[in-house]
């Protein structure tokens, strides 16, 4: 009997060892940021502060989000495919780098005392997901609200931007590249609107 019990325990342990484990987590970084047109001289005299982006629900997490239908009515999160940083942080850093490299102000930062006069940019993520296209394949869909407040706290610019980019193939890596491209398309339009809003400020 003891031999039989020992044999059964051994078989149980072997069976447990053959149970496949949970998939490994895969972490994605956004692709290299696009270069904005560089200003020959700073357009703004005051520093620019890029605040942490805001997001609700699914978009506040690190998991990649995907839609079940082309309309994006039903959304889910991938369980083991994650961003290295939450999109709220990744988009803040991306915009900061792009504006800093564009040399539009003597200082572009994410930290500055609230008492110091500055142009402050805030963003909200409304959509940031992989969507199946009607004809097959996938689309990276991004919707952002970007607001710029003057040093006195009044809004200088407040717009909602939307960009859709086709993924090159069905892989998640291709979707990540497409999401990065969609974000950059929005930032290009925002950069143009920001410069135009400042020109309007001086013309008033």
Asked whether residue 135 is domain-assigned, the answer is: yes
Residues 42/103, Cβ–Cβ less than 8 Å: yes
pLDDT category at 22 given cuts 50, 70, 90 is low
Structural domain range at position 105: 26-203
- Give the count of beta carbons closer than 10 Å to the beta carbon of residue 89: 15
User: C-alpha distances in angstroms, 103 versus 48, 92, 201?
Assistant: 11, 17, 19
Asked whether residue 96 is domain-assigned, the answer is: yes
pLDDT category at 24 given cuts 50, 70, 90 is confident
pLDDT of residue 138: 97
Integer Cα distance of 3 and 174 in angstroms:
56
- Res. 4: pLDDT tops 50: no
CA torsion 119→121→122→128, rounded to 10°? 180
Asked whether residue 167 is domain-assigned, the answer is: yes
Mean pLDDT of the chain: 90
pLDDT in tens, 190-200: 999 999 998 76
- Res. 63: pLDDT tops 70: yes
The residue among 129 and 4 whose pLDDT is bigger is 129
Asked whether residue 40 is domain-assigned, the answer is: yes
Which residues share a beta bridge with 174? none
Asked whether residue 162 is domain-assigned, the answer is: yes
Asked whether residue 7 is domain-assigned, the answer is: no
pLDDT category at 172 given cuts 50, 70, 90 is very high
Integer Cα distance of 113 and 99 in angstroms:
20
Integer Cα distance of 25 and 82 in angstroms:
7
pLDDT of residue 198: 85
Average pLDDT on 66-87 reads: 94
* Domain total of the chain: 1
Asked whether residue 57 is domain-assigned, the answer is: yes
Q: Residue 36 sits in a domain of what CATH number?
A: 3.40.50.10610
Average pLDDT on 108-127 reads: 95
pLDDT category at 14 given cuts 50, 70, 90 is very low
| 41-50, 86-95, 182-191, 192-201: the lowest-pLDDT one | 192-201
Asked whether residue 17 is domain-assigned, the answer is: no
- Res. 5: pLDDT tops 80: no
């Amino acid at each position: 009997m003891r031999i039989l019990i020992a044999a059964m325990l051994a078989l149980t342990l072997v069976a447990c060892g053959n149970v496949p484990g949970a998939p490994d987590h895969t972490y994605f970084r956004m692709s290299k940021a696009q270069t904005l047109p560089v200003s020959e001289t700073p357009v703004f005299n005051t520093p620019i502060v890029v605040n942490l982006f805001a997001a609700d629900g699914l978009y506040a997490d690190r998991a990649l989000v995907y839609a079940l239908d082309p309309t994006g009515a039903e959304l889910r999160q991938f369980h083991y495919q994650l961003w290295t940083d939450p999109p709220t942080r990744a988009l803040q850093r991306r915009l900061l780098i792009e504006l800093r490299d564009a040399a539009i102000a003597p200082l572009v930062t994410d930290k500055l005392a609230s008492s110091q006069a500055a142009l402050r940019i805030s963003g909200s993520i409304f959509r940031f997901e992989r969507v199946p296209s009607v004809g097959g394949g996938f689309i990276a869909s991004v919707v952002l609200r970007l607001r710029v407040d003057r040093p006195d706290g009044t809004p200088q610019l407040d717009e909602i931007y939307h960009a859709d980019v086709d993924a090159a193939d069905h892989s998640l890596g291709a979707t990540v590249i497409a999401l990065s491209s969609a974000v950059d398309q929005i930032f290009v339009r925002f950069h143009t609107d920001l410069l135009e809003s400042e020109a309007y400020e001086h013309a008033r």
